[in-house]
Every structure is written in structure tokens, then in C-alpha cells.
Amino acid sequence: MIPVLGYEGQKVAVLGLGRSGLATARSLKEGGAQALCWDDSVEARDAAHAEGFEIHDLSKQGAFEGVACLVVSPGIPHLYPEPNKVIALAWDAGVPVDNDIGLFFRSLGQGDWMEHDTPPRVIAVTGSNGKSTTSALIHHILTENGTPSQLAGNIGRGVLDIEPPVEGEVIVLELSSYQTDLARALTPDVAVFTNLSPDHLDRHGGMGGYFAAKRRLFAEGGPDRAVIGVDEVEGQYLANQLVEGLGDARLIRISAERKLTTGWSVFARKGFLSEWRKGRQTTSIDLRAIDGLPGAHNHQNACAAYGACRAINIAPKTIELALVSFKGLPHRSQLIGEKDGVKFVNDSKATNVDAAAKALQAFPRIRWIAGGMGKDGGIADLAPHLGAVAKAYLIGFSARDFALQLGDTPYEICETMDVAVARAAADAQAGDTVLLAPAAASFDQYPNFERRGDDFAQAVEALL
């Protein structure tokens, strides 16, 4: 674990005792602080108490007397739609509020990392879609290059739960807006912004607050290098703020929609990744045959990972070889198998319309399994992306609502995953892709999108 430094001999309150909360309590203890733990769940409190942590009701008046800091788990709202009552009490008591990401960077700055001949570095990735794939792909490239690396944050292990880094190691962090919004220290060596689309708007008070949470990764301390997706206006704005001019090598612009030939840039067009620098093309990589990176959205992820690795001077050829060997992540355009020319792809992580739209553009002819707990607006915004859909097979709570928004696209109400997979497989012809891209949350039928994706994979594997 990473010991939390700067609070030796002091009381630090921890609100929320899930994975990151318990890891934070352990790291505080390791660093010499006294962790005062609280969670609304009795089971979570009991688990912390069983590890020897002091349970301290933070919801009572006077609970913050003598407390140096409150550390909040990412799922707990601190501003919108309204502040958690414990956080409000901390504000009233003048107690600073932070999270595990802030503690990580704070401890990084005070620890013995700089005693290495080659100090460890941090690459942090944020954005609406593609964060996990981009982070995992960076980690894969580093590993294939022989560079010691750990993957943590919103993917893999909690950030304070990783091993102390060794000589020359690179820590890759996936950071959600919940994590960047509250951290009091954000000082990565390389920061990556993939893209922006509406999500978590109630938590951030609208698109402006959502973008502001992402922007903090680039504004709080500032990275040495930034890799910015410029396919949305917010990315263009952010890129413009970070540099003094086109020759500023601190910025790498990326795109999956257009050619970029000014400054240092990486873009993908028609399945080819290109790097341009100082007005000339330096690299071209054919992404079309890489099974682990199907579709334009994954080509954007490849550009982001390529840019991040180039920012720390990994050679283009090394990156290319690692891209080819990347197998993808579970539940994100994951190829489950193929039979009689029909591919079965699990993109259960496509829980919103924007992610589903990208999946629907990745394959030429689709048998689309969609549905679940639909979000505001349903799938109306997917109308321009239904051209490749031969038929939709609808499941879950919103199946009939989705059916009303499909226009002329053929559909069948299947209700459950096993029925949808069986019907799609029976209808599919050689060259088709049976695609799970729900465009909805999973909570009507499954505890999370992972379990939904596993159910799809099990049904497919039974057929195969």
C-alpha cells in the first residue's frame, strides 16, 4: 500500500467504507494517522471494526472536533444534487474535505519516490467514454515495453492499495469525474482527456459542472504533458488553454474524426492511426485488423494511449506491436466468439446513448441486444446510428419504451438475455454481429453491467 503522509499523529475522518474507503483507512494508519471511520451501512461499519478501526459517528454535532481532514469516498455527493450531511458538517467545522486521489498525490509529493535514479511517473486518464480501455491499453503498452507499471483508480485496484513504486515505474490511473472533482491535489506527469458527452449531470449540476470536474485534472498543479481529445468543443477549449502556441510540445491533440496536421497530433482516419509533428507525418499504423480495438471509438482510445506513451518517449514501433497484441477489456467491445461467420460482441459497458452509438458504428451489420433501465430521453438520439441494425432484440424494464423510438428498425421484445441471444443467433447470417450494447443501466435485472455482460457471455458460450 501507499502510506498517507502529512497526518502523522492526527485524526482523519473517513466517510464511506467500500473498497476505496477501507484502503484509505489502512493507508492512513500505515502513515501514522488515526482513522475515524463511518458509513451508513451497519455491515460496512462492522467490517471496518473487525479490522481494528475506530468507528466514529460523523453525523453528530461535534463529530469533527480535533479532526484534521475528512476523506470522502467517490460515490458520496458533496455538492449536487445536495451536499451529504456529513460533508456539510465538516464545512461548518472548517475541516478540509479530500478524497483518496488527493491523498495519493499529496503523499507522492512528500514521499521518497524522488530518491530513485529514475523517479516513478503517473499517467492519469479522464473523459466520458473510453477511460478504462485507454488506461488498460497504456498499461499494456508499458508492460510490453518492459516498463514496470501498475493500473489503479477507477479500474483495477484502489489508488492507495497499490505497491510502492519501483525504479522507473509508471502508475496509470483511470479517474472519473467523481474522483477529480474533489481531490485537493492532482499532479500527474501526463494527463489524458478522451472525450466529453452528457453523463452524471445530476451529480455535477449540468454539463458545465461535469466538464469543470474533468478540467481540474489539468488545472490543479498542471501536468508536464497533456493528451487532449479535440473532437468536442470542450476538448478544443481545454487544448487552447494549455499551450502558448502550435509549437508547444507540452500538448498532443488527438482525434478520431478529422485530420490534424498542426503542432504535435495523433489522429485516426479510415482505420489508420497517424502521428504528425513539426508539420510532417512520422508514423502510420493500420488499426483495422486489431480485434481488441474495433470501431472508431476504439481507434480514438488507441490514439489517446499512443499519445500518452509517446509523451514519455516510448518508440512508435514498440507501441504498434503492443496495440496488435491487445485483447480488449471485458464488457467493452469484447469479442466472445464466432460461429458460422457470426461474431458475438459484449459491450455491456455501453450504459448510455453515446457509448451505444459508438458501438453501433463499429460493425457493418448488427443484431442489436438493447434495453435495461433506460435513462432520460431513452434511445431517441440513436436514430442516426441505426442504419447498420438489421434487427433489435429488446430486454429489461425499458424494452417497450425503446421499441417506440426505433422508427422503421425491426425489433422483437425478448424481455430476458437468454431469449434475446437465442433469437438473435437464430436470425443472424454470415457477416452479422450479435452485439450487446444496452444503452441503459443494468439495475432492473442485474446488480451491475459486469454481471449483465457475464450473462450475455454465458448464453453465447452455450450456443458456441
CB 125 within 8 A of CB 135: yes
205 and 354 assigned to the same domain: no
Mark which of 45, 73, 98 sits at the end of a domain: 98
Q: What are phi and psi of 108, to 5 degrees?
A: -60, -40
Q: Decide if 145 is inside a domain.
A: yes
Question: Which of 64, 98, 132 is where one domain is finished?
Answer: 98
What pLDDT is stored for residue 29 in this prediction? 97
Provide, rounded to the nearest whole percent, the portion of the chain with pLDDT above 90. 84
According to the model, what pLDDT value does residue 110 have?
74
Does one domain contain both 226 and 123? yes
Is there a binding annotation on residue 75?
A: no
Domain that holds residue 48: 11-98
Q: How far apart are CA 130 and CA 282, in angstroms?
A: 25
Rounded to an integer, what distance in angstroms lies between the CA atom of residue 187 and that of residue 349? 29
User: Are 57 and 79 contained in the same domain?
Assistant: yes
Tell me: is residue 9 an annotated ligand-binding position. Answer: no
Residue 196 CA to residue 209 CA, distance in Å, equals 12
452 & 341 share domain: yes
Q: What is the phi/psi pair of residue 461, to 5°?
A: -65, -30
| 346 labeled part of a ligand binding site | no
Q: What is the pLDDT of residue 221?
A: 81
Residue 290 in any domain: the answer is: yes
Residue 24 marked in a binding site: no
Q: Which residues of the chain have pLDDT under 50?
A: none
Is pTM beyond 0.85 here?
Answer: yes
Exposure letters 59-93 (e unless 16+ CB within 10 A, then b): eeeebbeebbbbbbbbebbbebeebbebbebbeee
Are 50 and 149 members of one domain?
A: no
Whether the bond between 81 and the residue before it is cis, its omega within 30 degrees of 0, is yes
* pLDDT given for residue 114 in this prediction: 66
130 among the known binding-site residues? yes
The angle formed by the CA atoms of residues 236, 237 and 240, to the nearest 5 degrees, is 85
Rounded distance between C-alpha atoms, residue 431 and residue 345, angstroms = 13
148 and 252 co-located in one domain: yes
DSSP string, 277-320: ETTEEEEEEE-TT-TTS-HHHHHHHHHHHHHHHHHTT--HHHHH
133 a known binding residue?
yes
Residue with cell 491499453: 137
Domain boundary among 307, 325, 343: 325
CB 137 within 8 A of CB 328: no
Does the annotation flag 127 for ligand binding?
Answer: yes
Query: Within this chain, do residues 305 and 163 fall inside the same structural domain, yes or no?
Result: yes
- 435: CATH: 3.90.190.20
User: Quick one: 78 and 170 in the same domain?
Assistant: no
